[in-house]
Amino acid sequence: MGGRALVVTENVSLDGVIDAAGGWFSPAGEGADTSDIEAEVRRQSSRADAVLFGRVTFEQMREYWPKQTDDETGVSDYLNRVPKYVVSRTIEDPDWEPTTVLRGALGEEIARLKSAPGADIVVTGSITLVHGLVAEGLVDEYRMFVYPVVVGRGARLFEDATNVPALELVESRTFRSGVVLLRYRAA
């Protein structure tokens, strides 16, 4: 794979649900040691120099992360400094620097980002956007943090997906909490 990679990183339940309704992202319980997961997220962040969001996720992140002053995970610092791209036809002023609003055709905008110099471009959450990226065959790698819970209903990562190439497992790793990281690249 040459150039920048577009990487979809999602928290996912055993039954494939990626939307956060019901707050199922904490199956290890309150106060559980998730330092190994936090270290992995920091490692992945160090390999990415751009974050891509859909409008809804961007607005949720913008309302939360810039206001975190005691975040020991490093997520707040990372998101406040990394170049952010939001796919939207309605946002006029992103009000969270450095952010660029992408208004053009999805395939063209992503091709332009991937051809620019730099490291990985990561998209997380952003269910509608991710479904569009999958449908257009634009995803180079999937990083799924699989949580040991069954949610039953909700939006799924590969819901109605028809344009997913063969995938190759490039890493699997288990964390103390029972969460498993699965990394797949287009084969």
φ and ψ at 93, to 5 degrees? -120, 115
| Angle of the 127-135 helix axis to the 106-115 helix axis, nearest 10 | 80
Residues 155, 16: Cα–Cα separation, whole Å: 8
Which of 171, 159, 109 is CA-nearest to residue 134? 159
CA distance 153 to 141: 25
Question: What CATH number is associated with residue 135?
Answer: 3.40.430.10
Is residue 1 domain-resident?
A: no
Could you tell me the maximum CA-CA distance found in the chain, to the nearest angstrom? Answer: 44
- 3-class DSSP string for 93-121: CCCCCCEEEECCCHHHHHHHHHHCCCCEE
The confidence score (pLDDT) of residue 40 equals 92
The answer to whether residue 168 sits within a structural domain is yes
**What is the residue whose two structure tokens read 């992103």?**
94
Residue 131 lies in a domain: yes
pLDDT at res. 27: 55
User: Could you identify the residue written with the tokens 């707040």?
Assistant: 76
Domain presence at residue 98: yes
Range of the structural domain that residue 162 is part of: 6-20+33-186
Instruction: List the chain pLDDT tens, one digit each, 187 residues.
Output: 458 999 999 999 999 999 877 777 765 566 778 889 989 988 999 999 999 999 999 999 999 999 988 888 888 899 999 999 999 999 999 999 999 999 999 999 999 999 999 999 999 989 999 999 999 999 999 999 999 989 988 899 888 877 788 899 999 999 998 999 999 998 8
The answer to whether residue 27 sits within a structural domain is no
- Does a structural domain hold residue 182? yes
> Is residue 85 in some structural domain?
yes
For the chain, what is the domain count? 1
Cβ contact 123:53 at 8 Å = yes
Residue 172 lies in a domain: yes
Q: Give Cα separations from 122 to 39, 49, 100 (angstroms).
A: 17, 8, 15
